[in-house]
Structure 1
Amino acid sequence: MKNLKLTALILSAVLFVANSASALVMNVTVDSSGNYLQDGNLNSANSLASVAFYQTALGIASGNPNNRGDNFKLLDYVVKNWNNNKNPKIPAAVLGSTPTADNGSLNGIKSYTTAAGFDYVVFHFGNGKAGGGSDDDEKGWWAAWYLGGQSATFGLPQEGDPLEDVGGFSSARYFNPTTSVPDSGTTFALLGAALLALVGFRSRKS
Protein backbone atom coordinates (compact mmCIF):
# COMPACT_ATOMS: atom_id res chain seq x y z
CA MET A 1 0.00 0.00 0.00
CA LYS A 2 2.85 2.31 0.87
CA ASN A 3 4.44 1.68 -2.52
CA LEU A 4 1.14 2.38 -4.29
CA LYS A 5 0.85 5.73 -2.52
CA LEU A 6 4.43 6.56 -3.44
CA THR A 7 3.77 5.59 -7.06
CA ALA A 8 0.68 7.82 -7.22
CA LEU A 9 2.57 10.70 -5.64
CA ILE A 10 5.45 10.41 -8.13
CA LEU A 11 3.07 10.13 -11.08
CA SER A 12 1.15 13.23 -9.95
CA ALA A 13 4.37 15.20 -9.60
CA VAL A 14 5.58 14.11 -13.04
CA LEU A 15 2.30 15.06 -14.70
CA PHE A 16 2.34 18.45 -12.96
CA VAL A 17 5.88 19.20 -14.14
CA ALA A 18 5.08 17.99 -17.67
CA ASN A 19 2.03 20.23 -17.85
CA SER A 20 3.98 23.17 -16.44
CA ALA A 21 6.68 22.65 -19.07
CA SER A 22 4.26 22.72 -21.99
CA ALA A 23 4.48 26.28 -23.34
CA LEU A 24 1.32 28.01 -24.44
CA VAL A 25 1.65 29.64 -27.86
CA MET A 26 -0.27 32.91 -27.61
CA ASN A 27 -0.73 36.25 -29.28
CA VAL A 28 0.72 38.97 -27.03
CA THR A 29 -0.14 41.98 -29.19
CA VAL A 30 -1.90 44.06 -26.53
CA ASP A 31 -2.27 47.76 -25.75
CA SER A 32 -1.26 49.63 -22.60
CA SER A 33 -4.41 48.45 -20.81
CA GLY A 34 -3.67 44.81 -21.57
CA ASN A 35 -6.46 44.62 -24.12
CA TYR A 36 -5.97 42.74 -27.36
CA LEU A 37 -5.91 45.18 -30.25
CA GLN A 38 -9.22 45.21 -32.04
CA ASP A 39 -9.90 46.38 -35.56
CA GLY A 40 -13.33 45.68 -37.00
CA ASN A 41 -14.29 42.10 -36.21
CA LEU A 42 -10.75 41.03 -35.42
CA ASN A 43 -10.66 38.50 -32.58
CA SER A 44 -8.01 38.17 -29.90
CA ALA A 45 -6.34 35.12 -31.45
CA ASN A 46 -5.56 37.19 -34.53
CA SER A 47 -4.84 40.53 -32.83
CA LEU A 48 -2.75 42.84 -34.96
CA ALA A 49 -0.79 46.04 -34.56
CA SER A 50 -1.89 48.63 -37.10
CA VAL A 51 0.55 51.10 -38.62
CA ALA A 52 -0.62 53.70 -36.07
CA PHE A 53 0.06 51.36 -33.15
CA TYR A 54 3.41 50.35 -34.66
CA GLN A 55 4.40 53.99 -34.93
CA THR A 56 3.46 54.53 -31.28
CA ALA A 57 5.60 51.57 -30.20
CA LEU A 58 8.52 52.86 -32.26
CA GLY A 59 8.06 56.46 -31.12
CA ILE A 60 7.78 57.83 -34.66
CA ALA A 61 5.21 60.09 -36.31
CA SER A 62 5.13 58.56 -39.78
CA GLY A 63 6.42 55.70 -41.89
CA ASN A 64 6.39 51.96 -41.25
CA PRO A 65 9.97 50.64 -41.29
CA ASN A 66 10.01 46.86 -41.10
CA ASN A 67 13.34 45.56 -39.86
CA ARG A 68 14.67 43.56 -36.92
CA GLY A 69 15.43 46.55 -34.73
CA ASP A 70 12.01 48.15 -35.19
CA ASN A 71 10.22 44.80 -34.82
CA PHE A 72 12.02 44.48 -31.49
CA LYS A 73 10.70 47.86 -30.36
CA LEU A 74 7.16 46.64 -31.02
CA LEU A 75 7.84 43.38 -29.19
CA ASP A 76 9.36 45.15 -26.19
CA TYR A 77 6.38 47.51 -26.08
CA VAL A 78 3.70 44.81 -26.12
CA VAL A 79 5.56 42.44 -23.77
CA LYS A 80 5.73 45.22 -21.17
CA ASN A 81 2.03 45.92 -21.70
CA TRP A 82 1.29 42.22 -21.25
CA ASN A 83 3.31 41.81 -18.06
CA ASN A 84 1.78 44.96 -16.56
CA ASN A 85 -1.75 43.70 -17.13
CA LYS A 86 -2.04 39.99 -17.89
CA ASN A 87 -1.04 36.49 -16.82
CA PRO A 88 0.90 34.29 -17.19
CA LYS A 89 3.93 36.58 -17.04
CA ILE A 90 6.25 36.17 -20.00
CA PRO A 91 10.01 36.78 -20.42
CA ALA A 92 11.26 40.29 -21.11
CA ALA A 93 12.09 40.83 -24.77
CA VAL A 94 15.79 40.53 -25.62
CA LEU A 95 17.15 41.82 -28.93
CA GLY A 96 20.29 39.69 -29.10
CA SER A 97 22.15 38.97 -32.31
CA THR A 98 20.33 38.22 -35.55
CA PRO A 99 19.44 34.50 -35.50
CA THR A 100 19.79 32.45 -38.65
CA ALA A 101 16.07 31.70 -38.38
CA ASP A 102 15.15 35.32 -39.15
CA ASN A 103 13.28 35.57 -42.43
CA GLY A 104 12.77 39.08 -43.74
CA SER A 105 11.54 38.11 -47.19
CA LEU A 106 8.59 35.72 -47.13
CA ASN A 107 7.09 37.17 -50.32
CA GLY A 108 3.43 37.04 -49.36
CA ILE A 109 3.04 33.36 -48.48
CA LYS A 110 -0.33 32.37 -46.97
CA SER A 111 0.88 30.17 -44.10
CA TYR A 112 4.07 29.92 -42.09
CA THR A 113 5.64 27.44 -39.66
CA THR A 114 7.95 28.98 -37.09
CA ALA A 115 11.38 27.68 -36.17
CA ALA A 116 11.68 26.01 -32.77
CA GLY A 117 13.96 27.32 -30.05
CA PHE A 118 12.76 30.92 -29.61
CA ASP A 119 10.45 32.65 -27.15
CA TYR A 120 9.04 35.18 -29.60
CA VAL A 121 8.31 35.82 -33.25
CA VAL A 122 7.16 39.11 -34.77
CA PHE A 123 5.27 38.85 -38.05
CA HIS A 124 4.70 41.53 -40.64
CA PHE A 125 1.85 41.13 -43.11
CA GLY A 126 1.56 42.93 -46.43
CA ASN A 127 -1.36 44.85 -47.86
CA GLY A 128 -3.82 42.21 -48.95
CA LYS A 129 -7.50 43.11 -49.19
CA ALA A 130 -7.49 44.52 -45.67
CA GLY A 131 -4.08 46.09 -45.83
CA GLY A 132 -5.14 49.67 -45.15
CA GLY A 133 -5.70 52.81 -47.15
CA SER A 134 -4.08 54.12 -50.28
CA ASP A 135 -1.36 55.94 -48.34
CA ASP A 136 1.79 53.84 -47.96
CA ASP A 137 1.91 54.77 -44.27
CA GLU A 138 -1.43 53.01 -43.76
CA LYS A 139 -0.40 49.67 -45.25
CA GLY A 140 0.67 46.56 -43.41
CA TRP A 141 0.09 44.92 -40.06
CA TRP A 142 2.25 43.34 -37.34
CA ALA A 143 1.66 40.67 -34.70
CA ALA A 144 3.85 39.45 -31.83
CA TRP A 145 3.50 35.87 -30.59
CA TYR A 146 4.95 34.08 -27.58
CA LEU A 147 6.23 30.66 -28.69
CA GLY A 148 8.00 29.38 -25.59
CA GLY A 149 10.53 27.50 -27.72
CA GLN A 150 7.93 25.64 -29.75
CA SER A 151 7.28 25.44 -33.47
CA ALA A 152 3.79 26.41 -34.59
CA THR A 153 1.98 26.86 -37.90
CA PHE A 154 0.13 30.11 -38.59
CA GLY A 155 -2.40 31.07 -41.20
CA LEU A 156 -3.34 34.58 -42.28
CA PRO A 157 -5.28 36.68 -39.77
CA GLN A 158 -8.35 38.55 -40.96
CA GLU A 159 -9.62 42.05 -40.32
CA GLY A 160 -12.57 44.25 -41.11
CA ASP A 161 -16.28 43.90 -41.67
CA PRO A 162 -16.69 41.69 -43.59
CA LEU A 163 -13.54 39.85 -42.54
CA GLU A 164 -10.78 39.76 -45.14
CA ASP A 165 -7.22 38.44 -45.19
CA VAL A 166 -4.67 41.08 -44.24
CA GLY A 167 -2.30 39.91 -46.95
CA GLY A 168 0.55 37.45 -47.05
CA PHE A 169 3.41 37.01 -44.59
CA SER A 170 6.20 39.37 -45.53
CA SER A 171 8.61 38.71 -42.63
CA ALA A 172 9.10 36.65 -39.47
CA ARG A 173 11.76 37.72 -36.99
CA TYR A 174 12.72 35.81 -33.85
CA PHE A 175 13.79 36.93 -30.39
CA ASN A 176 14.94 35.35 -27.11
CA PRO A 177 16.59 32.07 -28.11
CA THR A 178 15.63 29.41 -25.56
CA THR A 179 18.24 27.13 -24.01
CA SER A 180 16.06 24.06 -24.52
CA VAL A 181 13.03 23.36 -26.67
CA PRO A 182 9.89 22.14 -24.86
CA ASP A 183 8.85 18.75 -26.18
CA SER A 184 5.25 18.50 -25.00
CA GLY A 185 6.23 16.65 -21.85
CA THR A 186 7.97 13.72 -23.54
CA THR A 187 11.09 14.08 -21.43
CA PHE A 188 9.07 14.20 -18.24
CA ALA A 189 6.97 11.24 -19.29
CA LEU A 190 10.15 9.22 -19.76
CA LEU A 191 11.39 10.42 -16.38
CA GLY A 192 8.10 9.34 -14.84
CA ALA A 193 8.35 5.91 -16.43
CA ALA A 194 11.87 5.52 -15.03
CA LEU A 195 10.75 6.55 -11.55
CA LEU A 196 7.81 4.17 -11.65
CA ALA A 197 10.11 1.35 -12.74
CA LEU A 198 12.37 2.16 -9.82
CA VAL A 199 9.43 1.98 -7.42
CA GLY A 200 8.45 -1.40 -8.87
CA PHE A 201 12.01 -2.66 -8.50
CA ARG A 202 12.16 -1.57 -4.88
CA SER A 203 8.79 -3.18 -4.22
CA ARG A 204 9.93 -6.56 -5.59
CA LYS A 205 13.20 -6.29 -3.70
CA SER A 206 11.43 -5.66 -0.40
Structure 2
Amino acid sequence: MYLPTVLIASLALIFTVSSFWWLNARPGRLVFYSVTTFGGYINTQSLVIQIPVVVHNTGAKPRVIRELRLEGVDQPGGTFRLEAQTFHKKLGPGGEGSDFVHPFAVNGRSVITKYVRFATDNVPLLVPGESMKLVLQGLVGEGDSWVELKTLDIHVGILVNSFLTMSNNPGHWKTYTLADGREHQEAVMGLLRERRQVSAGDPS
Protein backbone atom coordinates (compact mmCIF):
# COMPACT_ATOMS: atom_id res chain seq x y z
CA MET A 1 0.00 0.00 0.00
CA TYR A 2 2.79 2.36 0.92
CA LEU A 3 5.23 1.02 -1.72
CA PRO A 4 4.25 3.46 -4.53
CA THR A 5 4.53 6.40 -2.14
CA VAL A 6 7.95 5.30 -0.88
CA LEU A 7 9.13 4.66 -4.44
CA ILE A 8 7.99 8.06 -5.67
CA ALA A 9 9.62 9.80 -2.68
CA SER A 10 12.87 7.90 -3.23
CA LEU A 11 12.96 8.78 -6.92
CA ALA A 12 12.26 12.42 -6.12
CA LEU A 13 15.12 12.45 -3.62
CA ILE A 14 17.49 10.83 -6.11
CA PHE A 15 16.47 13.34 -8.77
CA THR A 16 16.98 16.28 -6.39
CA VAL A 17 20.41 15.09 -5.26
CA SER A 18 21.49 14.29 -8.82
CA SER A 19 20.33 17.66 -10.10
CA PHE A 20 22.18 19.46 -7.33
CA TRP A 21 25.36 17.51 -8.10
CA TRP A 22 25.05 18.16 -11.86
CA LEU A 23 24.43 21.87 -11.46
CA ASN A 24 26.80 22.66 -8.59
CA ALA A 25 29.34 19.92 -7.84
CA ARG A 26 30.05 18.10 -11.13
CA PRO A 27 33.75 18.19 -12.01
CA GLY A 28 34.65 18.85 -15.62
CA ARG A 29 37.55 19.11 -18.03
CA LEU A 30 39.65 22.13 -18.84
CA VAL A 31 39.64 22.60 -22.61
CA PHE A 32 42.36 24.80 -24.13
CA TYR A 33 42.22 26.26 -27.63
CA SER A 34 44.76 26.80 -30.38
CA VAL A 35 46.59 30.10 -30.79
CA THR A 36 45.32 32.37 -33.57
CA THR A 37 47.39 35.46 -32.70
CA PHE A 38 50.59 35.93 -30.74
CA GLY A 39 53.35 38.39 -30.01
CA GLY A 40 56.97 38.42 -28.95
CA TYR A 41 60.58 39.00 -29.91
CA ILE A 42 63.90 37.20 -29.98
CA ASN A 43 67.53 38.27 -29.62
CA THR A 44 70.69 36.79 -28.16
CA GLN A 45 69.56 37.74 -24.64
CA SER A 46 65.99 36.52 -24.46
CA LEU A 47 63.04 34.88 -26.18
CA VAL A 48 59.62 36.30 -25.30
CA ILE A 49 56.30 34.87 -26.49
CA GLN A 50 52.91 36.32 -25.56
CA ILE A 51 49.73 34.38 -26.33
CA PRO A 52 46.05 34.46 -25.43
CA VAL A 53 45.38 31.40 -23.29
CA VAL A 54 41.72 30.53 -23.83
CA VAL A 55 40.32 27.91 -21.47
CA HIS A 56 36.84 26.41 -21.08
CA ASN A 57 35.75 24.67 -17.87
CA THR A 58 33.15 22.10 -18.92
CA GLY A 59 32.14 21.20 -15.37
CA ALA A 60 30.16 22.93 -12.63
CA LYS A 61 32.95 23.22 -10.07
CA PRO A 62 35.53 26.01 -10.39
CA ARG A 63 39.04 24.90 -11.36
CA VAL A 64 42.24 26.66 -10.29
CA ILE A 65 45.35 26.95 -12.46
CA ARG A 66 48.38 27.83 -10.33
CA GLU A 67 51.23 27.98 -12.86
CA LEU A 68 51.80 27.96 -16.62
CA ARG A 69 54.80 27.41 -18.86
CA LEU A 70 55.70 26.52 -22.45
CA GLU A 71 58.02 23.63 -23.29
CA GLY A 72 59.68 22.96 -26.61
CA VAL A 73 62.55 21.13 -28.30
CA ASP A 74 65.33 23.16 -29.92
CA GLN A 75 67.29 22.38 -33.07
CA PRO A 76 69.92 20.17 -31.36
CA GLY A 77 67.11 18.21 -29.69
CA GLY A 78 67.31 19.67 -26.19
CA THR A 79 64.31 20.66 -24.12
CA PHE A 80 63.78 24.31 -23.23
CA ARG A 81 61.09 26.09 -21.24
CA LEU A 82 59.57 29.54 -21.17
CA GLU A 83 58.08 30.40 -17.79
CA ALA A 84 54.95 32.53 -17.51
CA GLN A 85 55.98 36.00 -16.34
CA THR A 86 53.04 38.40 -16.48
CA PHE A 87 49.36 38.71 -17.34
CA HIS A 88 48.26 41.52 -19.69
CA LYS A 89 44.99 43.12 -20.71
CA LYS A 90 45.76 42.61 -24.42
CA LEU A 91 48.45 41.46 -26.82
CA GLY A 92 51.18 44.02 -27.32
CA PRO A 93 54.55 45.31 -26.14
CA GLY A 94 53.24 47.66 -23.47
CA GLY A 95 53.22 46.82 -19.80
CA GLU A 96 50.25 48.96 -18.89
CA GLY A 97 47.82 47.05 -16.75
CA SER A 98 50.14 44.05 -16.47
CA ASP A 99 50.22 41.88 -13.39
CA PHE A 100 52.61 39.24 -12.09
CA VAL A 101 51.51 35.70 -12.82
CA HIS A 102 49.39 34.26 -10.03
CA PRO A 103 46.89 31.41 -9.55
CA PHE A 104 43.54 32.05 -11.22
CA ALA A 105 40.16 30.35 -11.20
CA VAL A 106 38.00 29.22 -14.11
CA ASN A 107 34.40 29.15 -12.94
CA GLY A 108 32.13 26.28 -13.87
CA ARG A 109 30.62 26.29 -17.36
CA SER A 110 32.62 29.36 -18.36
CA VAL A 111 35.33 30.45 -20.79
CA ILE A 112 38.10 32.90 -19.90
CA THR A 113 41.03 34.41 -21.78
CA LYS A 114 44.38 35.26 -20.19
CA TYR A 115 47.00 37.16 -22.18
CA VAL A 116 50.14 35.53 -20.84
CA ARG A 117 53.74 36.56 -21.50
CA PHE A 118 56.30 33.74 -21.37
CA ALA A 119 60.05 34.28 -21.43
CA THR A 120 63.46 32.68 -21.10
CA ASP A 121 66.98 34.12 -20.95
CA ASN A 122 68.42 30.80 -22.12
CA VAL A 123 67.61 31.38 -25.79
CA PRO A 124 67.18 28.07 -27.65
CA LEU A 125 68.58 27.32 -31.09
CA LEU A 126 65.63 27.55 -33.46
CA VAL A 127 65.19 26.92 -37.17
CA PRO A 128 64.93 30.45 -38.64
CA GLY A 129 61.63 31.09 -40.36
CA GLU A 130 59.98 27.89 -39.16
CA SER A 131 57.02 27.33 -36.86
CA MET A 132 57.48 25.37 -33.65
CA LYS A 133 55.36 23.08 -31.53
CA LEU A 134 55.25 24.32 -27.94
CA VAL A 135 53.49 22.40 -25.21
CA LEU A 136 51.44 24.49 -22.80
CA GLN A 137 51.87 22.95 -19.34
CA GLY A 138 50.33 23.84 -16.01
CA LEU A 139 49.93 23.10 -12.34
CA VAL A 140 46.21 22.53 -11.85
CA GLY A 141 44.44 22.42 -8.50
CA GLU A 142 46.53 21.06 -5.65
CA GLY A 143 48.62 18.79 -7.87
CA ASP A 144 52.41 19.10 -7.73
CA SER A 145 53.04 17.56 -11.16
CA TRP A 146 53.09 19.59 -14.37
CA VAL A 147 50.41 18.39 -16.78
CA GLU A 148 50.16 18.86 -20.53
CA LEU A 149 47.30 21.21 -21.35
CA LYS A 150 47.63 21.79 -25.10
CA THR A 151 50.18 21.39 -27.88
CA LEU A 152 50.42 24.70 -29.75
CA ASP A 153 51.85 25.26 -33.22
CA ILE A 154 53.23 28.82 -33.15
CA HIS A 155 55.03 30.58 -36.00
CA VAL A 156 57.93 31.81 -33.89
CA GLY A 157 60.08 31.94 -37.03
CA ILE A 158 58.77 35.41 -37.89
CA LEU A 159 59.88 37.03 -34.60
CA VAL A 160 62.46 39.82 -34.83
CA ASN A 161 64.35 42.00 -32.35
CA SER A 162 61.43 44.33 -31.56
CA PHE A 163 58.10 43.18 -30.16
CA LEU A 164 55.87 41.95 -32.96
CA THR A 165 52.15 41.17 -32.73
CA MET A 166 50.98 38.96 -35.57
CA SER A 167 48.35 36.50 -36.72
CA ASN A 168 49.38 32.87 -36.41
CA ASN A 169 47.88 32.35 -39.88
CA PRO A 170 50.52 32.97 -42.60
CA GLY A 171 47.73 34.05 -44.95
CA HIS A 172 47.51 37.35 -43.06
CA TRP A 173 51.22 38.19 -43.25
CA LYS A 174 52.88 40.81 -45.41
CA THR A 175 55.17 39.49 -48.14
CA TYR A 176 58.27 40.54 -46.20
CA THR A 177 57.21 39.21 -42.77
CA LEU A 178 58.73 35.75 -43.09
CA ALA A 179 61.86 36.98 -44.88
CA ASP A 180 62.57 39.56 -42.16
CA GLY A 181 62.11 36.98 -39.42
CA ARG A 182 64.33 34.42 -41.13
CA GLU A 183 67.11 36.95 -41.79
CA HIS A 184 67.08 38.22 -38.20
CA GLN A 185 66.98 34.76 -36.66
CA GLU A 186 69.79 33.45 -38.85
CA ALA A 187 71.98 36.22 -37.44
CA VAL A 188 70.85 35.51 -33.85
CA MET A 189 71.39 31.75 -34.19
CA GLY A 190 74.84 32.33 -35.68
CA LEU A 191 75.89 34.48 -32.71
CA LEU A 192 74.47 31.98 -30.24
CA ARG A 193 76.39 29.10 -31.84
CA GLU A 194 79.63 31.10 -31.74
CA ARG A 195 79.13 31.89 -28.05
CA ARG A 196 78.40 28.29 -27.18
CA GLN A 197 81.43 27.06 -29.09
CA VAL A 198 83.63 29.51 -27.16
CA SER A 199 82.03 28.47 -23.85
CA ALA A 200 82.68 24.84 -24.71
CA GLY A 201 86.33 25.60 -25.47
CA ASP A 202 85.94 25.06 -29.22
CA PRO A 203 87.44 28.10 -31.01
CA SER A 204 86.26 26.83 -34.40
Larger fraction in strand: 2
Could you state the TM-score of these two structures normalised by the residue count of structure 2? Answer: 0.29
Could you state the TM-score of these two structures normalised by the residue count of structure 1? Answer: 0.29
Higher Cα Rg: structure 1 or 2?
Answer: 2
Larger fraction in helix: 1
